[in-house]
Structure 1
Amino acid sequence: MGLLAWVLIGVLVAVMMRLLWPARSGMFAIAVVTTTAGALIGGYICAVFNIGTLATLDARALFAAVIGALLFLFLFRKLRVN
């Protein structure tokens, strides 16, 4: 369940960012992939350091997954070359 929850968090963050910060048409798919990767890494870091997992719906792991997703999306948008 934890892996599925991390993926869902990544997709939800991408949808929220799409609503708050509209982008070009092709960017939504990239945002979904980027935020999902960030959520997976954030959740994995919590699991490695035994902070909590999303399988038990721990708030710290949920927060880390959201922060990871937002950080990856922010870094991707800043480092993207036009």
Structure 2
Amino acid sequence: MGLLTWVIIGVLVGIAMNRLRPASGGGFAVAQLLAVTGALIGGYVCAVFNIGTLATLEPTSLLAALAGSLLFLFVFRKLRMS
């Protein structure tokens, strides 16, 4: 259940980021892919350090998935601008 939740968080963050600041060039699909990837990486990092697991919905792992998604999108957009 946790993996699906991380993917849903990534999709929601991708939609929100695209609404707030539309991506130039890559578009909606790239934003979604990056957000989902970031959420999966953030959730996986939590699972590795025993902060949260894939089996349960723990707030810390959900926050890490959200942070990973936002960070991944932010870094990609900053690197793309320069």
TM-score by shorter chain over 0.5: yes
Give the alignment's TM-score, normalised by structure 2: 0.88
Cα RMSD, aligned residues only: 1.7
Aligned to 1:79: 79
Letter in 1 for 2:21: W
Matched, 1:46 2:46: yes
Counterparts of 1:29-44 in structure 2, within 5 Å, are 29-44=29-44
**Cα distance change of structure 1 residues 24 and 80 upon mapping to structure 2, 3 Å threshold:** closer
1:49-64 matches, cutoff 5 A: 49-53=49-53, 55-64=55-64
Does the CA contact (< 8 Å) of 2:23 and 2:31 recur in 1? Answer: no
What is the alpha-carbon distance in structure 2 between the residues aligned to residue 8 and residue 64 of structure 1? Answer: 13
Ranges in structure 2 where 5+ consecutive residues have no aligned partner: none
- Report the counterpart of residue 68 of structure 2 in structure 1: 68
Equivalent pairs: percent with the same residue? 63
Is the CA contact (8 Å cut-off) linking 1:9 and 1:66 kept in structure 2? yes
In the alignment, what sits opposite 2:15? 15
